[in-house]
Structure 1
Amino acid sequence: MDNRVGEMHVFVSVVAAGSFSAAARRLTTTPSTVSKLIARLESRLGVRLVERSTRSLALTAEGHLYHERSQRLLADLDELELEVAAGSAGASGTVRVNASVGFGAIAVEPLLPAFWRAHPNIVVDLSLSDEMADLYVEGTDIAFRVGGLVDSSLIARKIGTARRVIVASPSYLEAMGVPEDVDDLDRHNCLGFNFRREQPVWPMRTGGRIIDRMVAGTLLANNGETVRRLAIAGAGLARLGDYHARADIAAGRLVEVLAAAGVGDEEQVAALYLGPQRLPARVTIFLDFFVPRLRAFMASASNASAASG
């Protein structure tokens, strides 16, 4: 392995200390190790850098040149590392983020103003879509995904667990009645999604077992936020993540139904990013800011669901 920087550091330490033994004490190593490193450096360069005597060291002309340039290069390296490390406070650049429409609108967007107050020079390029983003193809830095993870080459940081609930608006339930069991779904408008290409089914509990219950309705949408808004408008029943419906349930805009028959099947929520290469500072900063706050958001959603159940 090329260790020219390490050799420069040892050489400069020897010159500063005035002897191999004094340099070894500063470097917390042995004089023989220091002597071998200097000998290896001289052998690689093909010149003698240090004239050795029993009492002192003297630099050759080549040694003076190498010492002067090494000091300058090491100082530049220190300055570069300090500049990059300090960049976390004044980091700039663009972080490209993809999230599902519901999770992005409910959980990610409300955190952005506080993030920009702490990091005003970072641009967030946010795309909301319930379709799975290809991080490689689309140049995405971070994707927040709800559901199973398929691409094993991505690094995942778990955010939490989403439980599905069936909800409707008070006005819809007043007009159509509150469903009491699984069979009641036949007379209700069940709002669905179009990104699953098969017929819409809702896992339901009946007769002591769980079945995939076929449902039908007048809406097939490509995102949960559209389904949520139309459920609030009284269009029908919706099956949403608990985090997505929580605020509406608390405010009375939506009411959970079929809690006993509904299967609160769980899906993992995670932040995904490419690995294992080192992340740019701006991406690390974004993750460090958002992940703990989103974990707290998801935990409070789970606690609210458990309390209501």
Structure 2
Amino acid sequence: MDNRAGEMQVFVAVVETGSFSAAARRLKMTPSTVSKLVVRLEERLGVRLVERSTRRLSLTTEGHLYHERALRMLSDLDELERELTVGSAGASGTVRINASVAFGTIAVEPLLPAFWQAHPNIVIDLSLSDEMADLYLERTDIAFRVGGMDDSSLTARRIGTARRLIVAAPEYLDRNGIPTTVEDLDRHNCLGFNFQRTQPVWPMRTGGRIVDRMVAGTLLANNGETVRRLAVAGAGLARLGEYHARADLAAGRLVEVLADAGVGDEEHVAALYLGPHRLPARVRVFLEFFVPRLRTFMIEGAVLDPN
């Protein structure tokens, strides 16, 4: 039977105690058993790990390398076992999260302090990007996505829907006029995105049907938060999710335009993760805390309550 982990533990004990006899006392083995295990390890590896003398033991170069790596692997094994066996209250480890800049900033970040109060031993590795994350390649545990959920190998936990609005700052509309028809978009600065997956079109309702209206402007950004800020600054029209523009609309920094012509199309918002079976405790408690609160947040007009 392969017992490399056991051999590592014996070798580490020998290094830490400085002798075979002291390691044997710690491990409740005989000194001859400890010595035989170290010799067997050296024979299998084909290198000498320990230089033996009558006074003391010293590590060879290979022994130092093996000791360093063995400590790391045994630590990882301990962490894995703790993660798989502890309950929610004792969950620990790192949860790697990917979210769009807007959703991460507005919806995820405000909940983190309350989450840490409940689970102080969990580290959140948060990456914000409007590019689609590959959960496999980027070692991501959970990705919050708005639209774009075609990967059938992932498990999706629905959070809500994001309704799209066309908005602008009052000062921009004062300078350029309020668009009242789809054709008016041609004379307005329409702020857009530079994603390869995104076309410079806004779906609009005209003549009783929905058409993709080509738009153009002086900004192409790689995230919605930049577009929102420039719209608030009066740079042009923007097409944003309702949840993203909610606070600015309530404060009067942005107003909706073309409400009748705008399709108000909706995109699904979900938490995507690999699974669904036997989620690590750290991932499971994160989903249990965040999903119900984010569902409340996605309801139009809801105020985010972290508690």
Question: Under a length normalisation based on structure 2, what TM-score does the superposition of the two structures give?
Answer: 0.70
Distance 1:279 1:261 in 2: 45
| Distance change >3 Å, CA 177–CA 91, structure 1 → 2 | same
The yes-or-no answer on 1:135 pairing with 2:147 is no
List runs of 5+ in structure 1 lacking aligned partners.
Answer: 1-80, 305-309
**Residues 70-124 of structure 1: per-residue CA shift (max 9 Å, x gap):** xxxxxxxxxxx99966541122110000001111111111111111111111110
Opposite residue 196 of structure 2, the aligned amino acid is: R
TM-score after normalising by structure 1: 0.69
1:243-254 alignment, distance < 5 Å: 243-254=243-254
Match of residue 13 from structure 2: none
Q: Counterparts of 2:258 and 2:91 in 1: how far apart (Å)?
A: 49
Shift of the alpha carbon at 1:150? Answer: 1.2
Residues 83 and 202 of structure 1, relative CA distance in 2, 3 Å threshold: closer
Cα–Cα, structure 1 residues 237 and 136, in superposed 2: closer, same or farther, change >3 Å?
same
Three-state SS of the structure 1 residue aligned to 2:171 is helix
- Alpha-carbon distance change, 117 to 198 in structure 1, aligned in 2, over 3 angstroms: closer
The 1:198/1:133 distance shift into structure 2, 3 A limit, reads closer
1:262-281 matches, within 5 Å, as: 262-281=262-281
1:217 matched to 2:212? The reply is: no
Q: Cα 1:152–1:197, aligned 2, differ >3 Å: closer, same or farther?
A: closer
The reply to whether residue 191 of structure 1 matches residue 191 of structure 2 is yes
In structure 2, runs of 5+ residues without a counterpart are 1-80
Equivalent residue, structure 2, for 1:238: 238
The alignment partner of 1:212 has SS state of strand
Q: Percent identity?
A: 81
Q: 1:137 to 1:212 in 2, by over 3 A?
A: same
Indicate yes or no: 2:126 matched with 1:126: yes
Aligned-residue CA RMSD in angstroms?
A: 1.9
In structure 1, the residue matched to 2:294 is 294
Aligned counterparts, 1:1-309, within 5 A? 86-196=86-196, 199-301=199-301
Report Cα offsets for 1:147-179 as digits up to 9, x if no partner: 031110101100001110000011111111111
Which of the pair has more CA radius of gyration? 1
Q: Distance in 2 between matches of 1:195 and 1:82?
A: 41
Output the CA distance in 2 between the equivalents of 1:83 and 1:109: 24
Task: Specify the SS of the correspondent of 1:286.
Answer: helix
SS at match of 1:151: coil
Work out the CA distance in 1 between the residues paired with 2:105 and 2:198. 27
